[in-house]
Every structure is written in C-alpha cells, then in structure tokens.
Amino acid sequence: MHEFALARAARDTIVKHKKDRVKIYIGEIQQIDVELFKRLLVEETSDLNVLLEFYEMPAKMRCNVCFSEWLYRDLELTEDQKESIHFLPESIHIFVKCPKCSSNDFSIVEGRGIYIGTD
Ligand SMILES: [Zn+2]
C-alpha cells in the first residue's frame, strides 16, 4: 500500500523538523487515497505530540509551448476523466490541452505529491 509508505516517510520528515506544528500540503493530483493517508499519518504521529494541519495544494499546469499557466480546478473534466487522472496522472495529457494554444505539451508544475512545511 502506497499510503502506508508515504505516511511513514512523512513521519520521518516530521520527526526531523522537531516542531510542534506542521503543515501537510496534499497535491490535488496524486495517486493516493487522501482520507486513508491522513488517518494513517495521524496514527503514525500520535506519539510525537505534534499538531498536523492538512491543506490541499491546487494543481497548476504550464504550457511548454506558449508558457501560459492554468489551474486544474478550472478545467471542465468529467468524473471519469478525473478518475483516470487520479489513478494515472500522466493521462492528463489525453484529456487536457493548453487553453491558449491547444498544445498538449505541458507540465504539471505544482500540486503533485505531498509537501511538508513548518512555516
Ligand atoms: Zn500553450
């Protein structure tokens, strides 16, 4: 299970930070079960006396041709398409193209994966 490994890795990072409050940013586009991950991380860190704050990090895309940027949440995608992207993020290139120049050559520049911060 991917979520267990991630929760373990996140715990290690939190231990290193040595703070009593950490922010967990969860990218909008990732392949994990977010609710399960949150639950596991709370369990994994229950002995650390740390306050976890969870935030969703919006996914942002940037066109590699014309360099315009847009947000995943502004796209009009069907539930099926969203599900495909959840399980296979690379499939986003099938469903999404640049709103400006229609290229499907773009990068996901933010909002993938999980980030831990203490600020
Ligand atoms: Zn473009």
66 alpha carbon to ligand 1 midpoint, in Å?
Answer: 4
Regarding pTM above 0.85, the answer is: no
Distance CA 108, CA 62 (A): 6
Q: What is the pLDDT of residue 113?
A: 86
Tokens of 72: 């995943």
Q: What is the pLDDT of residue 1?
A: 61
Q: What is the pLDDT of residue 3?
A: 93
Evaluated on CA atoms 29, 62, 98, 106, the torsion sign reads negative
* Domains of the chain as residue ranges with CATH: 2-117 (3.30.2320)
102 alpha carbon to ligand 1 midpoint, in Å?
Answer: 6
Q: Please, which residues have CB less than 5 A from ligand 1, an ion?
A: 63, 65-66, 98, 100-101, 103
pLDDT digits (tens, 9 = 90+) for 25-68: 999 998 889 999 999 999 999 999 999 999 999 999 999 999 99
Residues 3, 4, 9: CA angle, nearest 5 degrees = 95
* Angle at which helices 2-17 and 34-44 cross, to 10°: 50
Model confidence at 16, pLDDT cuts 50, 70, 90, reads very high
98 alpha carbon to ligand 1 midpoint, in Å?
Answer: 5
> Taking 80 as the threshold, does the pLDDT of residue 109 lie above it?
yes
105 alpha carbon to ligand 1 midpoint, in Å?
Answer: 8
